[in-house]
Structure 1
Amino acid sequence: MTASGVYVYGIVGSAHPLDSGVRGVGEPPTPVRLLPAGELAVVISAAHPGLRARRRDLMAHQDVLLRLARSGPVLPMRFGVVAPDEATVLADVAARGDEHAAVLERLDARIEMNVKVTPVQDNLAALIREDPVVRRMREETRRHPGYEANVRLGEAVAVGLRRRAGLAAARLPAEFAEIAEEMRTGPDVDGCVLNASFLLRRRDEGPFRAVAERFAADHLDRLELRVTGPLPCYSFVGSERVPVKA
């Protein structure tokens, strides 16, 4: 297939190493290389027409960024950034070179950790004890059973479980206040009461995980917590900063 344009994975410092033989998006996978841009370098490969967000290409994009992040800060691009040619890429980097350099400096020795919280689904007894609305509806359903009553009770239980988990999850950012430097709330995820990313020093990954595990253990009856990372700092490349508050 004939290449069409330049695919951009991210921006790094000019001295940032790139593993030999790294392959990127496309079928067959395209070789990844560094395009020098003064004190910076752009991580690129050939782009192919018809590129789509298929799992193989999404994973290839992510793998390139993860490899880069192991060796230093990277300003990651979202999947699908394609420029018509190298000159266009260089012109864009030159126009925002100081901004890119400042972001890389801020992200040096930092990682992103993502936390997702979902409600526990199998603790109806605790919910009934705590939630008078659910308790009343359960009693009414027992007195007047039927399909519609069961549906209403099921909906009330789902809302109640989500509310309990949400109240607990709201206390989580404060738990990370002494470890994480910034927090960004991510897009809504089906089933989650919290989807948040945290910026922290690479050396603090262990303490971060320990806090998350302790918090999850303390709230086993309310929520399930999943930690993903370390990740390239997708959520922290913008200028807006949201400190983690105690």
Structure 2
Amino acid sequence: MIASVTGTRKRNDVYVYGVTAFPFKPRSLGQGIGDPPADVFLVPYRRLAGVVSKVDGFFSDSGKALRKNLTAHLGVLSHLFEKATILPAAFGSICPAASVKEHLAASYDSLVESLTELDGKLEVRLSASYREKELLKAVIDSEPRLARGDHRTLGDKIEHGKEIIGAIERKRENDRRAIFARLEPLLRDLAVHSEDSTVLFRASVLIAREDLAQFDHFLEEIARDLGQLIDFRCVGPLPPYSFVKEALFLSKEAAWA
């Protein structure tokens, strides 16, 4: 069972950062959550290892402590990700030390499969947002009939508004399809997240590590072509957070999953 972030720590509990392949012998696993920061170590089971640390100093209602521990959690994952493939656990994943091997044993085949599938791959988070004035101009330029101003009745105006909304939706779909088509040769997997009226898409893409430079080049070309209409934001490279199929050390009590 996973304890909540502000719960009561039990003896022999450990904080879990994720799962990696074993044997894995870096010079140092670094330090993680807590005050003072706890040393990170491995709990091996056959070809797997849980990446953990003690949880002293983790439980706190302080927003400052929470932010510090979140930064430490992400830092451990980033440090390990430079050296190996890792399946990240959710922030706040805490369990009895003995449960780590139990979880690795119970999910052994699927965890090995996930590590194999994600080996040599990374995640990039990409979002694209329209500039509203430029979007409306682009829609009217592509469908000049929408620029007509001879809408005399309320019904005419309502119908005109519906036509503009429909044209915007068509453009959104066409732009999304065109952008992902240009990135498609490098995509190993894709997870599209929420969107709204001005956000064209929020997505996580999975690519090979060796393709990162080419992916950046593709993005630069797309931004150059569409930069007056769309603002792009890119975060990465990251461990493959969005592509871990196994719910690592997760239960309904995990407050920060």
Q: Is 1:81–2:89 an aligned residue pair?
A: no
Q: 2:34 aligns with which of 15, 26, 49?
A: 26
Higher relative contact order (CA 8 A, sep 6+): 2
Does the Cα contact within 8 Å between 1:10 and 1:43 map onto a contact in 2?
yes
Instruction: Tell me which of 212, 223, 232 is aligned to 2:230.
Output: 223
Aligned-pair distance for 1:55? 2.6
How far apart are the structure 2 equivalents of 1:20 and 1:181? 31
Q: How far is 1:87 from its partner?
A: 0.8
For 1:57, the aligned partner's letter is: N
> What is the deviation of 1:201?
1.2
CA contact (8 A) 2:189 2:207 kept: yes
Partner of 2:182: 175
Q: Which residue pairs with 2:59 in the alignment?
A: 49
Match of 2:80 in 1: 68
Unaligned runs of 5+ in 2: 1-7, 151-160, 247-257
Q: Per the alignment, do residues 11 and 97 of structure 1 end up closer, same or farther by CA in structure 2, a change over 3 Å counting?
A: same
Counterparts of 2:46 and 2:165, CA distance in 1: 55
Tell me the residue number matched to 1:107: 118
Secondary structure in structure 1 of the residue aligned to 2:199: coil
Greater shift in the superposed pair: 125-134 or 185-194: 125-134
- The offset of 1:192, in angstroms, is 2.6
1:44-90 deviation digits (Å, cap 9, x = unpaired): 1122334788332222111111111111211111211111x111111
Once residues 126 and 62 of structure 2 are traced to their aligned partners in structure 1, the CA distance between those partners, rounded to angstroms, is 28
- RMSD of Structure 2 on Structure 1 (CA): 3.4
5+ residue gaps, structure 1, are 141-152, 240-246
> Could you list the per-position Cα deviations for residues 172-212 of structure 1 after superposition, in whole angstroms to 9, with x for gaps in the alignment?
22212211111111344895321111212110001111111
The residue identity in structure 1 corresponding to 2:34 is G
TM-score if structure 2 supplies the norm length? Answer: 0.74
- The answer (yes or no) to whether the contact 2:132–2:198 under 8 Å persists in 1 is no
Task: Identify the match of residue 234 of structure 1 among 238, 241, 248.
Answer: 241
Structure 1, residues 89-146: CA drift from partner, whole Å, max 9, x if none?
Answer: 111111111111111111111111121111124526445534669745xx59xxxxxx
Count of residues paired in the alignment: 228
Q: Deviations over 1:30-50 (max 9, x none)?
A: 221111222111101122334
Q: How far is the alpha carbon of 1:11 from its aligned partner?
A: 0.4
TM-score, length-scaled by structure 1: 0.77
